Structure formats: C-alpha cells, structure tokens
Amino acid sequence: MTRRVLVVTHGGRPEAVAALSEAVRELTAAGFEVALHDDDLAESFGDHMAAARVREGVTESEVVMVLGGDGTILRAAELTHGTGVPLLGVNLGHVGFLAESERENLRHAVQRLAARDYEVEERAVVDVVVHLPGEPEPMTGWALNEATVEKAQRERMVEVGIAVDGRPLSSFGCDGVVISTATGSTAHAFSAGGPVMWPDVDGVLLVPLSAHALFARPLVIGPRSTYTVKVLERSAVGAVLTCDGRRRIDLPVGAQVEVRRGALPLRFARLFTAPFTDRLVSKFSLPVVGWRELAAQRPERGDDRYDEAERDGRHDDPEQDKEA
C-alpha cells in the first residue's frame, strides 16, 4: 500500500523552497508518494510532480508535513481540522513553538516518519459562534491558538461585556480580549501578559488587552464552560474577530461572540517525547541557572582558580568563572 505525504510550505520564501526540494527528494527516496498543496510550487518541480498536484485529498495522506514557522502550521491546520490527519512541523521560522523538528534535522524527520517511529498528540481547539445583530443564523468558526476580539479603530477603545456560562462577570473599555487554548497560551495571550498553560491543561484562557478597569485579570475556565464577549451598545466603535490571525469577521455594536473548548481536536505527529518544560526552556532560551548560582561557583581568594582568574581578568564574568 502506497504511503502518501502532503507537503505545505511558504512558497514566497527562498529557504522554504530549498527545504521543499530536499523534503521531496528525501520523502520520495523513502518510498512515499508526495503531494504538494501549492499548485505553483508543484509546477516548479516539473512534469514528474504533475500527478501529485492537489488542493484537496488531505484525508488520503498519512501525514501533512509543514515546512515553515507557526504561521504556516496554522495555515495547514485549516486543511487538517476535522480530518484526523496529523501535522508534522519542520521549523523554518524563529520560535516555531508548534513545530516538531528543525530545518537541519529534516532527513532524520523523514526517516522517523518512514519507520512509523512517531506518536500522535491531540491539541484542543476552541469553537467560536458569532451572533450578529439582525442576522437570524449565527456564524461559526474555530481556532487552534486563539480567537481575538479587537477594536476596529486604533484611536478608540471598544466597550465589551464578559460573561461566563451566561452569567455577567465584568465590562470595561479595552483594546480587545484574547481567548486562547492551552496551545495558544504561548502566542498572543503570552505577549499580552497571560500565563503559560501546559498543553494537557483542559481549559480556555481569556486575557484582556489594555483594559481600563480595576478587575481585568486573565481568567481560565473549564472544558464545559463558555465565554461570551459582547460589543456593548455604549461602545463608540465596533470590533473585529480574528481566529488564529487568519480568519476575520467585523463585529458591529451589539454583536456577541461565544467561545468554548472545541469538539474536534487537531492532531500533531511527535518525534520527541521530551516534557513541555524542556520545549519551553529551549524555545524561549530561558536561563535555568540564576545569577546567585553562578556567583556561588566563583572561586574564593586564596584558591588557585582565583589566582588564575585574577590573571585573566575574569572575576567580573560569572560565565567565564563557571567554565574555569
């Protein structure tokens, strides 16, 4: 039985095209049938790829391999959501929190994929329901990272009301609110001052953006609860709802957005089983050794290491003292 991999990448970046060329070569050599999601890129690979040019057919693939940063992975998630097909991210961006492998390990990733030496991890999404004034039927959407309600005009605040499970909780003027999954807690919500949530935390996070209020703290609700964000009648401006920074809808005054934990998770192919703590330290380059520990490792006067450090002029550099 032929095994098939669909490759998604950022076609406008030269490094992505170079990585794509290597990925196609390695996957083909490993016995996979390779399909490219981007027709234009497929054409650049010549006639031998013509039969594999697709825009659909995700469900026939074993894995969707994504070459790019988190933005490209979010684009690929639009293809796999609801299909059960896992994403395998190869990071070509900066942080790449959603990616599983780095560019230099692409060949190794293909080898692991060919050997079926990977695990599948599920990540919760949020389902979004939008009620617009005068519209009889709501609009629906979803997000892997976050659904963000932000003011439509930069010079004015938007007035919002927040409710949980239909019960009013608070109202305030603000730049907006971010409603995030545990996966998205390291994205927009994190930059807005929200907490980092471990991926297995089954909750939904809300973080106000520049709220003019005494009580406007981040909130976390459980998997069976629902946030409601309403653009209040007293608001001088409307708002904009954006899901994962990609899909948006205008929210006039009176519009209401409901966000809850989604029913259909996204699936990711994982090559490494290191704890999330290690990923956090690695991606954010966190200093796991504090300055007090470094200072404690510095040699004392009278120690041979001290005399050597004094000759080298290294007493003011704890990192060099540590290496000594």
Exposed/middle/buried for 250, CB within 10 Å: 0-12, 13-18, 19+? exposed
pLDDT, residue 37, reads 80
pLDDT tens sequence across 68-127: 889 999 999 999 999 999 999 998 877 778 888 888 889 999 999 999 999 999 999 999
Q: Is the pLDDT of residue 54 over 60?
A: no
**CA-based nearest residue to 89, from 246, 269, 255, 244:** 269
Evaluate if residue 200 carries a pLDDT over 60. Answer: yes
How many other CB atoms are there within 10 angstroms of residue 158's CB atom?
26
- In angstroms, the CA 163 to CA 285 distance is 37
Residue 291's pLDDT band, with cuts at 50, 70 and 90, is confident
Q: Whole-angstrom Cα distance, residue 237 to residue 234?
A: 9
50 CB-contact burial (10 Å; exposed 0-12 / middle 13-18 / buried 19+) = exposed
pLDDT(296) > 90: no
Percent residues over pLDDT 90 in the chain:
64
* β-bridge pairing 126-131 and 139-143: antiparallel
Q: Pairing between strand 226-231 and 239-243?
A: unpaired
Specify the DSSP element, H or E, that contains 35.
strand 32-36
Largest CA distance in the chain: 83
The pLDDT value given to residue 36? 87
CA atoms of 99 and 70, how far apart (whole Å): 7
CB neighbour list of residue 169: distance below 8 Å, 6 or more residues apart? 162, 163, 219
- Band the pLDDT of 307: cuts 50, 70, 90: low
Query: Has residue 186 got a pLDDT over 60?
Result: yes
Beta strand pairing call for 219-221 and 204-209? antiparallel
Contact 142, 252 (CB under 8 A): no
pLDDT recorded at residue 309 = 52
Strand, helix or coil at 321?
Answer: helix
* pLDDT(139) > 50: yes
Mean pLDDT for the stretch of residues 223-235:
97
Low-confidence winner among 7-11, 193-197, 271-275, 291-295 (lowest mean pLDDT): 291-295
187 vs 97: CA distance, rounded Å: 9
Segment 31-51 mean pLDDT: 56
Q: Is residue 5 within 8 Å of residue 32, measured between CB atoms?
A: yes
Buried b (16+ CB within 10 A) or exposed e, 14-37: eebbebbeebbebbeebebbbbbb
**What spatial distance separates the first Cα and last Cα of the chain, rounded to whole Å?**
58
Catalytic residues: 70
What's the chain's average pLDDT? 86
In sequence order, the 6+-apart residues with CB closer than 8 A to the CB of 53 are: 35, 36, 39, 42, 43
SS3 56: coil
Which two tokens mark 142?
């979803």
Would the pTM of this model clear 0.85, i.e. be above it? Answer: no
- Give kind and range of the element (H or E) at residue 88: strand 87-91
Per-residue confidence (pLDDT) for residue 283, from 0 to 100: 84
